[in-house]
Amino acid sequence: MSQLSPAIAAPRVSDDIRAANRLSRRVLRFVLMVGGVIAVAALALGAWLHGGRYSTTNDAYTDADKLPVSTDVSGIVKSVDVTENQPVRKGQLLFRLDPEPFQYAVDNARARLGDMVLTVNAMKADYQRMLRDIAAEEQQLRLDQANLERYAALVSRGGVTRLDYDNARFKEAAAEQTLASLKLQAQVQLAKLGSADIAPEDSFDYRQILAQLREAERQLRHAEVRAPFDGIVTDVAKLQPGQFLAAGTGAFGFVATDHVWVTAFAKETDLTWVKPGDPVTVWIDTYPGRTWDGRVASLSPASGSQFSLLPAENSSGNWVKVVQRIPVRIEIVRHQGDPPLAAGMSVEVSIDTGHRRTLASLRSELLGW
């Protein structure tokens, strides 16, 4: 019996080991399951706490000052002084209209202005003549009044005939009317002048013609169209010499090169913490591997759909909520030697809002949810 004891004890030891191994595996499985959940929760919490700082979007494009070049006067195109995609500087001549009609208008206004000086001086001289006529007529009236007084004293005594008295009386009345008429004419002339010693340059007619001269000179200047800022011209072939260009008609395109920015259409839910002045990292698809620094210049006060021709109508019962896009303007920091940027390039931006999430904010979000 003593020889069989080891054989009988061996299975018992093996069963104990297997039982211990099973227990260890159960404990390990439990630890791994619980630890895995805790690890995933910890990683998720860490990601959430460190998230929400950056707002990114690839719905962004470069933009620049651009306009259709035009002028506010009409005329025949005499010359086009630029070529397609030519860089130009501010003030450089782009094209010119035939200046002859505008020069004729300037010459005509100048001639009328000189004639108005002569007219005002002539009116002043004529006014002085009227004053002298009034003075002469006043003397004549005094003479007629004296004669009438003498005839009135003599007619009762038969010294003069009744006819002579009546002639003197009518002559005195006519002199009074003539004097009144001369005074009225002088008043009208003075009203036209405004002042007896007025300078021709101060008269209303002179100022009116001077304004017409300045307008004619302005139109003559605008017959030459120059670049409003540094940029590049495009679609120049649309304008040809000999073509009639109506006022306000776009001749060709013009895009600025000295002021380029990014317009990003960010989701409204990503703009909670975005504010003007936030730093931005900019990637432009045309130049892979290169980044630009920027900053948030401003946020649009309205979503992009508000500026559409037919904005969404949400009063119907089949309305579906759609996350709106808010235009964000981003100024790019450019340096000497940077590659050129054209309007409309595809861009990706990342805005650093500097926002930090906390456990307190997590609690408020969970309670609110």
209-238 per-position pLDDT tens digit: 999 999 999 999 999 999 999 999 999 999
Task: Look at the alpha carbons of 114, 115, 116, 121 in this order and tell me if their dihedral is positive or negative.
Answer: positive
Predicted confidence band of residue 331 (pLDDT cuts 50, 70, 90): very high
Q: State in Å, rounded, how far the first CA of the chain is from the last one.
A: 75
Residues 6+ apart with CB under 8 A from 219: 73, 102, 105
pLDDT at site 318: 67
Whether the Cβ atoms of residue 368 and residue 72 lie closer than 8 Å to each other: no
Per-residue model confidence as pLDDT tens digits over 334-360: 888 889 888 899 999 999 988 876 665
What is the 8-class DSSP label of residue 369? Answer: -
| Residue 309's pLDDT band (cuts 50, 70, 90) | low
Residue-level pLDDT at 135:
93
Distance of CA 2 to the CA centre of its chain: 111
Question: 3-state class of 64 per DSSP?
Answer: strand
Cα separation of 312 and 317, whole Å? 13
What residues contact residue 262 under an 8 Å CB cut-off, 6+ apart?
60, 61, 62, 63, 280, 282, 294, 329, 330, 332, 347, 349
pLDDT mean across residues, the chain: 85
pLDDT of residue 236: 94
The pLDDT value recorded for residue 362 is 57
pLDDT of the residue at 259 = 85
Rounded Cα distance between 274 and 296, Å, is 8
According to DSSP, the residues that pair with 291 across neighbouring strands are 283
Phi, psi (deg, nearest 5) at residue 245: -115, 115
Q: Return d(Cα 305, Cα 309) in angstroms, integer.
A: 9
Report the pLDDT value the prediction gives residue 5, as an integer from 0 to 100. 52
Name which of 77, 68, 78 is nearest 235 in CA terms. 68
Is the predicted pLDDT of residue 69 greater than 90, yes or no? yes
Encode pLDDT of 181-194 as tens digits: 999 999 998 888 88
Per-residue pLDDT at 1 exceeds 50: no
Return the closest-CA partner of residue 253 out of 229, 234, 238, 239: 234
The pLDDT assigned to 10 comes to: 52
Question: In terms of Cα–Cα distance, which of 250, 356, 268 is closest to 305?
Answer: 268
